[in-house]
């Protein structure tokens, strides 16, 4: 069997450790593919919780939009050549524009993005579109529709970090909950920190807060420091007080307990193809309230309560229904378990290894 190495973009593990990009990357790195040496590029020294069978290459890079662009377009291609890596695998759709077509993307970013941004952010998006057009391969879950026009598309089974599929004992979850000072019961939000999305979230929550807000505060995770500040300002603007809380970035290993202890995931945004919160909730046995759409319908089937994304009142009513009607929550949870039962990390790993080798074969 031919041996080769793959370089993975570890930026999200340092600066966005609770993001779908980071969680999907951790799932990939947990696969231990035979004949494949994992190389991990990081912009800072690895945190203590990061323990992987991968060779780590640190190129110190501060967290700015311009540096992120340089990291993707310059640092990663140079590092791939220097290490002799056969492939570069990213979990965000921002591959290098120039160089050989040996880049692979398994997109794990939220589609919703702010309409405006700084010059570096807009330039990054424009350059990334060119890089995506020259990909060696695009990985896509086999349970989702795809309308991309691209030759090298590889359909794989969904993959979830084992920590979400394998429940800890109740005492272990209780210990994590005490350490994190989690509320006794809560509704979870784990999504983007863009102002438009947060306004959609809070507008809907304002309809649910009177009947359930005291018993079930809304707990937001994964927002980052700027996002937490933005949420606090908007919470005050909407007059929601202590019914909305947020946590600083968590070690990824603690996220499973946060999901399992939540009464519901309230996610009024379309899940990314890989590593998204809705998939994590289904794997954790957590009822889901989200928005309608072709991708979400395919992802959850009957395993979530979906309503129109622009109807704040209907979204709020859906949250209330899941919290107060026990039978509804139980049906959603059971339907989620049935969908997750078809997912296989080992099947994903085999498909991933086959995709790597197919891309390399086409380059010869």
Domain extents in the chain: 4-159+344-363, 162-340
In this structure, what DSSP letter does residue 122 have? H
Provide the Cα torsion 122, 128, 129, 135; round to 10°.
Answer: 180
Lookup: tokens for 28: 């990939």
* Full-model pTM: 0.93
**Ramachandran angles phi, psi of 110, nearest 5°:** -65, 140
Cα–Cα distances in Å, from 17 out to 86, 148, 183, 275, 345?
26, 28, 22, 12, 21
The string of DSSP letters for 74-97 reads IIHHHHHHHHT-SEEEESSS---S
The residues, any chain, with a CB within 8 Å of residue 159's CB and separated by 6 or more, are 24, 27, 28, 31, 274, 343, 345, 348, 349
Average pLDDT across the chain, whole number: 89
Q: In what order do the strands lie in the sheet with 288-291?
A: 244-246, 218-220, 187-189, 264-267, 288-291, 305-307
pLDDT at 278: 97
pLDDT at 128: 62
Q: pLDDT (tens digit, 9 = 90+) per residue, 240-290?
A: 999 999 999 999 989 999 999 999 999 999 999 999 999 999 999 999 999
Identify the residue whose tokens are 């395993």. Answer: 303
User: In the structure, what pLDDT confidence band is assigned to residue 94 with cuts at 50, 70 and 90?
Assistant: confident
CATH of 162-340, one of 3.40.50.720, 3.40.50.2000, 2.70.180.20, 3.90.1720.10: 3.40.50.2000
pLDDT at 297 over 80: yes
Cα–Cα distances in Å, from 298 out to 81, 162, 243?
39, 23, 32
Residues across the chain: 364
pLDDT at 174: 76
Asked if 93 and 10 touch (Cβ cutoff 8 Å), the reply is: no
Q: pLDDT (tens digit, 9 = 90+) per residue, 188-207?
A: 999 999 999 999 999 999 99
Average confidence (pLDDT) over 345-363? 91
Q: pLDDT (tens digit, 9 = 90+) per residue, 135-153?
A: 778 999 999 998 766 668 9
CATH of 4-159+344-363, one of 3.40.50.2300, 3.40.47.10, 3.40.50.2000, 3.30.565.60: 3.40.50.2000
In this structure, what DSSP letter does residue 191 have? S
Q: pLDDT (tens digit, 9 = 90+) per residue, 37-86?
A: 999 999 999 999 998 889 999 999 999 989 999 999 999 999 999 999 99
pLDDT at 163: 77
pLDDT at 132: 64
Q: Identify the weakest region by mean pLDDT among 22-26, 45-49, 116-120.
A: 116-120
pLDDT at 93: 86
In angstroms, the CA 17 to CA 241 distance is 28
- Tell me if 4-159+344-363 shares its fold with 162-340: yes
């Amino acid at each position: 069997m031919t041996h080769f190495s793959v370089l993975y973009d570890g930026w999200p593990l340092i600066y966005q450790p609770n993001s779908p990009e980071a969680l999907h990357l951790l799932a990939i790195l947990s696969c231990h593919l035979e004949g494949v040496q994992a190389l991990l590029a990081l912009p800072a020294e690895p945190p203590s919780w990061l323990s992987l069978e991968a060779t780590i290459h640190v190129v110190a890079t501060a967290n700015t939009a311009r540096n992120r662009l340089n990291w993707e377009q310059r640092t990663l291609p140079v590092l791939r050549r220097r290490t002799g890596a056969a492939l570069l695998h990213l979990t965000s759709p921002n591959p290098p524009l120039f160089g050989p077509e040996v880049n692979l993307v398994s997109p794990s970013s939220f589609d919703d993005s702010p309409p405006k941004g700084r010059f570096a952010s807009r330039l990054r998006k424009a350059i990334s579109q060119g890089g995506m057009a020259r990909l060696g391969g695009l990985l896509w879950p086999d349970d989702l529709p795809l309308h991309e026009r691209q030759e090298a598309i590889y359909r794989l089974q969904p993959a979830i970090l084992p920590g979400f599929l394998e429940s800890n004992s109740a005492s272990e979850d209780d210990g994590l909950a005490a350490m994190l000072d989690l509320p006794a019961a809560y509704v979870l939000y784990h999504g983007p920190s863009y102002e438009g999305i947060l306004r959609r979230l809070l507008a809907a929550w304002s309809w649910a807060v009177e009947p359930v807000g005291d018993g079930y505060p809304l707990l937001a995770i994964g927002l980052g420091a700027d996002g937490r500040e933005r949420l606090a300002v908007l919470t005050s603007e909407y007059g929601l007080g202590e019914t909305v809380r947020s946590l600083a970035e968590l070690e990824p290993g603690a996220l499973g307990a946060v999901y399992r202890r939540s009464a519901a995931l309230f996610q009024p945004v379309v899940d990314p193809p890989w590593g998204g919160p809705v998939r994590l909730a289904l794997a954790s046995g957590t009822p889901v309230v989200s928005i309608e759409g072709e991708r979400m319908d395919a992802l959850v089937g009957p395993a979530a309560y979906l309503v129109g994304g622009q109807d704040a009142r209907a979204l709020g009513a859906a949250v209330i229904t899941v919290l107060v009607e026990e039978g509804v929550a139980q049906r959603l949870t059971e339907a989620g378990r049935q969908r997750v039962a078809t997912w296989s990390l080992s099947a994903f790993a085999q498909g991933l290894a086959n995709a790597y080798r197919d891309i390399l074969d086409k380059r010869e």
